[in-house]
A and B are shown apart, each in its own frame.
Chain A
Amino acid sequence: MPDLVTHFAAAYILKVPRQWSKFRIPFYIGAILPDLLSRPFYIIYPSAAFVVYSFHTPLVTAVVCLLIAQFFQEEIRPGVRRNLFLGIGLHYGLDLMQKYLISGYVWLFPFSWKSFSLQLFWSEEALQFVPVWVALVLGIETFIQIKKRIRKENLP
């Protein structure tokens, strides 16, 4: 996996256009969800990896998304659900680009144990771009806030 800064920044940038910015929080959650459901457990207790690895597969994450959406009010639930799905799609899209030494993620779990990836970069290589992502997110957010303030001041 690339780090969560990369995953979050990619999600943030995609949700900048105003017409897409509704439900941006569920989109951000989806973009980091597969790692949140698996990594902390086996970083703290490595033996848990054999139990939690399935949480980093599209089908299991999709079930978790459906479950999470149930905890949002009915009027916004479809939008939340859709954006959670889009977020996990973005997450897996980035993970798919990674190189693996032995085997990668089992994308088709539980139907197949085969894994495949585009083998473009090692997961730690994304770290060198973290300062760029952080600067970009902060720059965009500052620009948006300044624009909002100017618009507010110009209101009659």
Chain B
Amino acid sequence: MREQSAIHLIFRNRWINILGLLVVLICLVLYGYLSRDPVTLDKCLNNPIQYDGKDINVSIEATVVKLLSDGFFVRQMGRAIRVVGDPQNASVGDFVVMLAVFHKEGYLELKSLRVAKGRRLKVLISIPPALLVLFLLFWTYRFDLRLLLFKERI
């Protein structure tokens, strides 16, 4: 009975809970980062022979920088590369998501492509709801700086 109340008391301590949750969170994020080794454009361009013929998923913030007669140039994380394949309805500046095969000569062979038209607008219109929710949070609750707690406004 005494042991149970000791455990109960530990879990009732807010700062112990916060510390425990932060440790779990850091472990999960680190595991996610370290256990996945994706093929990136940067890795392919740095070691072209090693990644020759490998599938590459170019999806994170990749944009079309130039259209060519047989393809286009795409830029991702500061690296640009030529892509051979149908650019569909892509224009310069459009965000794209694609699956391609890397070739050691320094180009990508397109397997599938999606042009994310409207992505910029999507990002822009997502800002006001985030600000609105932040405003409503401080409108509804008062933040006690001393205790680091949100309290209901009376």
Partner of B98, one of A46, A60, A101: A101
Chain A residue total in the interface (Cβ 8 A): 47
Check A71–B126 contact: CB distance below 8 A. Answer: no
The answer to whether B24 has its CB under 8 Å from any CB of chain A is yes
Interface residues, chain A, with chain B CB atoms under 8 Å away = 3-5, 7-8, 25, 28-29, 32, 35-36, 39, 42-43, 46-47, 49-55, 57, 59-60, 63-64, 66-67, 70-74, 76, 101-103, 109-110, 113, 122-124, 127, 130
Partner of A5, one of B61, B125, B136, B151: B125
Interface centre among B22, B36, B98, B133, by most A CB within 10 Å?
B133
How far is the CB of A112 from the nearest CB of chain B, in Å? 12
The answer to whether B152 has its CB under 8 Å from any CB of chain A is yes
Per the bound structure, the CA–CA distance linking A113 and B36 in Å amounts to: 9
How far is the CB of A115 from the nearest CB of chain B, in Å? 12
Check A42–B28 contact: CB distance below 8 A. Answer: no
Chain B 2-47 residues near chain A, CB threshold 8 A? 14, 17-18, 21-22, 24-25, 28-29, 31-33, 35-36, 38
Given contacts A32-B129, A32-B130, A101-B114, contact A123 B122 (CB under 8 A): yes
Per the bound structure, the CA–CA distance linking A50 and B129 in Å amounts to: 26
Say what secondary structure dominates the interface of chain A. Answer: helix
Check B121–A127 contact: CB distance below 8 A. Answer: yes
Residues in A whose Cβ lies below 8 Å from that of B152:
73, 76
Check A5–B28 contact: CB distance below 8 A. Answer: no
Per the bound structure, the CA–CA distance linking A64 and B29 in Å amounts to: 12
Given contacts A72-B141, A76-B152, A123-B122, contact A53 B32 (CB under 8 A): yes
Name 14 interchain pairs, CB-CB below 8 A, sorted by A. A4-B125, A5-B126, A25-B141, A36-B130, A46-B77, A50-B38, A60-B25, A60-B28, A60-B32, A70-B14, A101-B99, A109-B32, A110-B28, A124-B122
Residues in A whose Cβ lies below 8 Å from that of B150:
71-73
Chain B 81-124 residues near chain A, CB threshold 8 A? 97-99, 112-114, 116-119, 121-123
Check A51–B28 contact: CB distance below 8 A. Answer: no
Check B17–A70 contact: CB distance below 8 A. Answer: yes
Given contacts A29-B137, A47-B77, A124-B116, contact A70 B129 (CB under 8 A): no
How far is the CB of A14 from the nearest CB of chain B, in Å? 15
Check A29–B133 contact: CB distance below 8 A. Answer: yes
